[in-house]
Amino acid sequence: MHSVRRGLGGFTHAVLVAIPIVIAVAVGCSSADDGDAASDTTDTTAVQDVVVDASDFKPLAEMTRVRGFFVDNVAGDLDATLAVADDREGGTYPVGTVIQLIPQEAMVKRAAGFDPDSNDWEFFTLDVTAAGTTIVSRGGSEVVNRFNGTSCAGCHGAAEPQFDFVCEHDHGCEPLPVGDDVITAIQNSDPRS
């Protein structure tokens, strides 16, 4: 079996390098198992970064609710996002994950290296009206809450490490100064819905 594959190795590799790069990334280049694959194993870590614009943000009602918050994945892998969100042991969210508690704030997972001080989350403050979404501010650990100037990462970084900056009620963050009833009311008054 192995000798047959080795015999076809040169041909297989020639075909592989002709495949468009997007497919190569999707399969992780791992199929070049043709006897000279040792150098190919380093190609599997490339993860496509995502840079969202305002139109990528949806009304909360069109996102997927997980307990008290809402998730989406602009890279198209919602299942990978839900696998982490649904795991009560925590985990690292995949690139492209969008998480929102209220319509006016969001965090989006960027590729490794975006900002180690924000665990590679990009934080957003948003203006939402019936006409749609406008980005007010965006960035890594420097972004602050526009209501009282408190750092998003300052609070979210207090979450226990396995929860990847997601606070909820019991991950170690300082609680929000408003109750669940207020959060629910804000969630239900998304003007884009």
By three-state DSSP, how is residue 108 classified?
Answer: strand
Question: Which DSSP category does 165 fall into?
Answer: T
Distance CA 165, CA 119 (A): 7
Give φ, ψ of 34 to 5 degrees: -125, 25
What are phi and psi for residue 52, nearest 5 degrees? -80, 160
Q: Which of 73, 119, 125, 133 binds ligand HEC (CB under 6 A)?
A: 125
Contacts with ligand HEC in 127-156 (CB under 6 A)? 143, 145, 150, 152, 155-156
85-104 residues near ligand HEC, rule: CB under 6 A = 99-101
Site string (69-88) toward ligand HEC, x via CB under 6 A: x-------------------
- Asked if 108 touches ligand HEC (CB under 6 A), the answer is no
| Cβ proximity to ligand HEC, 57 vs 123, nearer residue | 123
Q: Count H helices, E strands: the chain?
A: 6, 6
* Coil, helix or strand at residue 110: coil
Contact residues: ligand HEC, CB under 6 A: 68-69, 99-101, 105-107, 123-125, 143, 145, 150, 152, 155-156, 166-169, 173-176, 183
